[in-house]
Structure 1
Amino acid sequence: MPRALTILLGGAAAVVVVAGVRAVAWLVAPAMLALLVVIAISPAHRWLRGRGAPPWLATLTVVVLVYGVLAVVAVTVLVSGARLVSMLPEFARDEIVLRAERAIGGIDRGQLAGFLGGLLTELTSLTTSLVFLLALLLFLGVEVGWAHSRLAEIAVDRPRLREALVEFAHRTRRYVLVTTVFGFVVAVLDAVALAWLGVPLAVLWGVLSFVTNYIPNIGFLLGVTPPAVLALLQHGPRRALAVLLFYGVLNFVVQSLIQPRFTGDAAGLSTTVTFLALVFWAWVLGPLGALLAVPLTVLVKVLLVDLDPAAGWAAALLRPPRTGGTPTAPEPRTGD
């Protein structure tokens, strides 16, 4: 088959696949997030089994651990959100808020009703996705103990596919570990700084900073906006500027200079590829696509690039630059 026709058919197939994934994003995004969480915590299951714990106890411990972490985050957000609502009357006489109220007063009621209806629909969809995610976490957590036996069965007929899946799990765990460590450090420093600056709900904004750290490149902007706005409303522009400066310096140094070097090495992707993946997967899967951009790109890479011996040129374009300045042969893969 002519190369041009092969490229044309491959591009058409890719468009069809992407369109199909986007059409069922409500299913794919929570499923991939649940898979990512289970892959990240699977070493805990193996550790418990290695210490002699029965399979049911190891599985139950892992599931309870995941649900416990989610419950702590949910309670923190709910309590802080309730406190934020109780603080809103304090801003009622603020000049900025009065201007905002006058601007809102000019909004057409029909448009406002449409906006509220759309917001209610989004909240309903979010609740459905959350329930679906929790159910998937339970089922995948129960089956995590059989992952190695299933990989062994795959290796009988498709050994390279087994190696690719093992590589995906390994890189995903490394990426999650690196991102979690840096996110925790940044979140603690942000929360301490906000408490020192007198910004309310410092713990909530620290949790938000931790979560948005999983979003490459633009997570900083999402994490700094709420505390900066709250500092502006309560303390004025100087305090808001101080929040922006602290967040800017800390997050630029950690998330833009230090962390990408580790996450790029962990995921095997360059910084440019990571940014393009963020834009692409956010467009395909919505907000969850931004969180899953790097793991999904790693999955596509190991299945479409690493499995093909003739795709070494594509691997060279996707991976981060090698230190040393001279090209080296591809590293041999092992399925540990």
Structure 2
Amino acid sequence: MSRLSEMRETRNYLLAAAIFLILIIGMQITAYIVNLLVISLILTILTLPAMDLLRKKGMPDGIAVGMITAVSGIAILGLLLLTMHSFQVLIEDLPMYQAELNQRLAELLLLLDTIGIDPASLSPSSISLGSVVTAIEPYVLNFGQIVLYLFFIMMTTCFALLEAPNIPGRLERILGSSMESRFGIGRMSRLMIEFVIVRTEANIIHGTLFGLALWAMGIHAALLWGILTFILAFIPYIGLLIAAIPAIFFAWLQYGAPGAVAVMIIVVILNALVENPIFAYIASRRFDLPPLVVIISLIVWGWILGIPGMIFAIPITLILLIMVQCSDETRWINTLLGVDKLFAEESGTTGKN
């Protein structure tokens, strides 16, 4: 009998693995829709505080949701227009950038020749900025598709905000009131919402300060690099580094090595002033994902959903961890990953409050 039960258990594990693999493949195939839903969920989380504030002031839900949706849509559309305008200006000034690049490469060749190195394969005309811009231009300037995508996102967010007040009651009916106290699901949900809001606020500050610093230096397309910093800062560990590379490159084009070093110093200073306090703020609430879980999340969600998957890897992972914690049969996964402590109530919190 025990042998039969072991075979059933093995079969169940194999079946679960097969279903999981099918889900991953399905998400990769439908990445367009999945990304739309994920972005809508993040926007819903970001706008929930404003929704609660308007509701407390007695504003009807329909009017409040309409107002929040309109403001959010205008803000996002404005950000997109600024990005596209900055990129268009960059394309128009491409001949000037190419001339600056040729000058820097000629200086580099002279330096290498001085120290006795023969760069036979490198010449000022061997690197073309036009080919790089041509490769990414269709993804940046397709305004029609972007507006259509934004419309679907805002509509989904609108209806999600209308349904948000009903979600806690539905979850309580499904999971039972004891589930919350036993597994700290509500606490983890609050931490996830807090993470998304605080991370977004930090990115706004970081992108604004970086863009202003580049503008003060006179770096080409400073606004574009500030927006890029705001977006890519959602990617843990590597996002800010990737966002800084174009700014460092253009600083090198304009001012040579001193300009590139100056931008590097700005990046280090902003990391110290903005990133460290923000992460200290989150860590003080015992929000801490193991680095291995973060890296795996970036790889997996980046492979499944592309760049949006990397940007929203942490919020998506937190949602999955909450879902895993809801089941007795899957909770061991959180323990194995070392994230089960996130669901444990903080000792002494109740007493202090």
TM-score when scaled to structure 2? 0.75
Matched, 1:89 2:95: yes
Report the structure number with the largest CA radius of gyration: 2
Alignment-derived partner of residue 334 in structure 2 = 314
- Contact 2:232/2:243 (CA < 8 Å) preserved in 1? yes
Alignment-derived partner of residue 148 in structure 2 = 131
Counterpart amino acid of residue 330 in structure 1: A
How far off its partner does 1:308 sit? 2.7
How far off its partner does 1:96 sit? 4.3
How far off its partner does 1:166 sit? 5.2
CA RMSD of aligned residues (A): 3.6
Alignment-derived partner of residue 231 in structure 1 = 251
In 2 relative to 1, CA 130–225 (structure 1 residues): closer, same or farther, beyond 3 Å? farther
Matched, 1:330 2:344: yes
Alignment-derived partner of residue 290 in structure 1 = 310
Counterpart amino acid of residue 56 in structure 2: G
Alignment-derived partner of residue 22 in structure 2 = 16
In structure 2, distance between residues paired with 1:145 and 1:162: 25
- Cα distance per residue 1:209-251 (max 9 Å; x no partner): 1221111111112210111111111121221122123314533
How far off its partner does 1:304 sit? 1.2
Alignment-derived partner of residue 172 in structure 1 = 192
In structure 1, distance between residues paired with 2:263 and 2:33: 38
- Cα distance per residue 1:261-313 (max 9 Å; x no partner): 44565765233322221111111110100111011101111111344387257
Matched, 1:241 2:241: no
Matches within 5 A, 1:263-282: 263=282, 265=285, 269-282=289-302
1:198 paired residue among 208, 218, 236: 218
Percent of matched pairs sharing the same residue: 21
Matches within 5 A, 1:15-94: 15-94=21-100
In 2 relative to 1, CA 126–320 (structure 1 residues): closer, same or farther, beyond 3 Å? farther
- Contact 1:209/1:223 (CA < 8 Å) preserved in 2? yes
Alignment-derived partner of residue 325 in structure 1 = none
- Contact 1:270/1:318 (CA < 8 Å) preserved in 2? yes
In structure 2, distance between residues paired with 1:28 and 1:74: 21
SS in 2 for 1:93: helix
- Contact 2:45/2:196 (CA < 8 Å) preserved in 1? no
How many positions carry a matched residue from both structures? 317
In structure 2, distance between residues paired with 1:205 and 1:122: 17
In 2 relative to 1, CA 168–22 (structure 1 residues): closer, same or farther, beyond 3 Å? farther
SS in 2 for 1:84: helix
How far off its partner does 1:140 sit? 2.9
In structure 2, distance between residues paired with 1:11 and 1:134: 36
In structure 1, distance between residues paired with 2:85 and 2:265: 28
In structure 2, distance between residues paired with 1:104 and 1:208: 22
- Cα distance per residue 1:174-218 (max 9 Å; x no partner): 012221232233223323432343323333322221221111111
How far off its partner does 1:66 sit? 0.8
Matches within 5 A, 1:115-154: 128=145, 131-154=148-171
- Contact 1:260/1:271 (CA < 8 Å) preserved in 2? no
